[in-house]
Structure 1
């Protein structure tokens, strides 16, 4: 096979027609084909044997792919230099040893922060207004509010605590501005300048954060040190009528502690992530009254997945121009992914 020029390296695109429609609509596909006129497009899903045969035949230097792509076999490292993943976690797609050997991998990274923040705001409002309670009660029990004094709450003027101050939290801070809330955050590795720029108070400890938050949003990274870091001790520090929202990582929270707080203290909870996904049918979370549940929908909605495609195109252009890649996944990031 003749060596390809740097501007036209062998490129393999693997995705389903639905993924193509959402991540790479016609205008973005046109840009992609202009950048790589000789690319090869393969329809997913693929059996493992088909996948290995395709890799052996095409020997791509670059792979652009989405959710339905099979895991990379170790021999892919012989020719593959860059995997541009349109989605989030790459743990099931890329073996760790390939990154150790120098494979460059990027994902959707911060391009989805705005839609996750949007979903977070939805869950905050739903918990404060008790949407989960009333949606079930009205549909299944024929209930209606009793009197003029329901226990619903407004977001305006509340104290909001963010456990984690990454890209999603930064977007959420901007969305919360019209509600004139007081925001605190606990994220020790984030510099003071970031807190100052966002007008966010740096909490001295997790205990400080939880005890001073009417709305606690869980956005801590899913690293081993954070396993069940949020348990009874912290949850019971939340003030009366507080709400707890988790859109980060399920493993950070002891779900049994949430169940106890809901049943014993009436804590209102809103969750989009869980320690085990899909959430088991017999999970006690499903039986709680004071809860709003979403099935991990916080990521980009199908109509905004084109944002991930645009980021991927930028990265592909950067790659062929020897410019830095955006959201490059190193071993530390890989190990923190779920």
Structure 2
């Protein structure tokens, strides 16, 4: 156990009833209570003042929490040693200074990669089959296809480009195997061996990647250097009838350039992330015909959030056994997050 002077660390769990049902269904909750019989369960949401009071009163060594958690106060560093966050980005929850002081923070990490990759595949197929176009046209204008030659495409045998080759892209590469696609990726920091194992061509540059991709999937990280990296110059390189899919970070793509590419070149687009979320009601993206939009649904669906709970339970077991934890948020990871 990380704190050898205590037989049982003080554990505070903060979740809404819905978060509890999704992340900690009965079997996982039972495992948590068996590991920590004296844990304190606090119902969210809490006002900031109530949250700070709970932390001062309970002085937990471990906090387990999800989305509906107010930011941690700096004073929590006096007693808190491990924050087990069941979700993704911790930037709005954990001040950087707490990690600098040694607070251990974990999140869902790559455990959600399969469901995000699944959503990526959905958007690829939707864009190729023009689902966004036809869904709106049939529901609002009573339209039907004209003749036997609709403007739709198949995924089989396509050239698919991945901008970024992290955990989500690797899961997507596996899902794409049955479609016999030609895969390319641009991710300079990834070693050649990874490309070989996944049978992915290493693109020499972003220009190379965009110009040789019938389907371009944007999964680059949201670091400052990538702000509006994808703009007019790259989008113009996409071949005719190409589709552009973004499940990475909205800030990587210049949305005004996307609108221009759609209107001027007929680029078909499928998006799950945006520079401003929720997507403003007056966004030009909402008025395009050849587009499929989702409201940031790419993460784990409620039925698969138990995977995050199981990961958290495993990490908590590692923590009390003084073993290395999975998906630790160090300062580098923290700074790259959005």
Pairwise TM-score range, normalised by the shorter structure: over 0.9
How do residues 4-153 of structure 1 correspond to structure 2 at under 5 angstroms? 6=6, 8-153=8-153
Which residue in 2 is equivalent to 1:165?
165
TM-score, length-scaled by structure 1? 0.98
Question: Aligned-pair distance for 1:322?
Answer: 1.0
Distance (Å, rounded) in 2 between the aligned partners of 1:226 and 1:300: 25
Deviates more, 1:5-14 or 1:156-165: 5-14
Summarize the alignment of residues 1-338 of structure 1 with structure 2, pairs less than 5 Å apart: 6=6, 8-338=8-338
Q: 1:282-306 CA distances to partner (integer Å, 9 max, x unpaired)?
A: 0000000010000000000000000
**1:6, 1:320 within 8 Å by CA — same for their partners in 2?**
no
Q: What is the CA–CA distance in structure 2 between the aligned matches of 1:158 and 1:7, rounded to whole Å? A: 58
Task: Determine the C-alpha separation between the residues in 1 that align with 2:205 and 2:321.
Answer: 44
Give CA deviations for 1:95-135 in whole Å, capped at 9, x if unaligned: 11111111110101101000000000000000000000000
| 1:209 CA displacement | 0.2
Give the Cα separation in 2 of the matches to 1:258 and 1:70. Answer: 35
TM-score by length of 2: 0.98
SS at structure 2 position matched to 1:64: strand
Secondary structure of 1:70 counterpart: coil
- Would the aligned equivalents of 1:4 and 1:10 in 2 still touch at CA under 8 Å? no
Distance apart, 1:6 and its partner CA? 4.8
Aligned mates of 2:180, 2:97 — CA distance in 1: 47
- d(CA) in 2 for partners of 1:336 and 1:162? 19
Q: Work out the CA distance in 2 between the residues paired with 1:150 and 1:238.
A: 21
Aligned residue for 2:113, secondary structure, equals helix
What is the Cα deviation at residue 7 of structure 1?
Answer: 5.2
CA gap 1:195/1:7 in 2 versus in 1, 3 angstroms: farther
For 1:8 and 1:279, the matched residues in 2 are separated by 46
Give SS of 2:333's match: helix
Q: Deviations over 1:221-256 (max 9, x none)?
A: 000000000000001000000000000000000000
CA distance in 2, matches of 1:159, 1:152: 16
RMSD: 0.9
How far is the alpha carbon of 1:321 from its aligned partner? Answer: 0.9
CA distance in 2 between partners of 1:60 and 1:173 (Å): 42
Name the CA distance, whole Å, in 2 between partners of 1:100 and 1:91.
14
- Is the CA contact 1:163–1:187 (under 8 Å) kept in the aligned structure 2? yes
Shift of 1:193: 0.5
Structure 1 runs (4+) deviating above 6 angstroms are: none
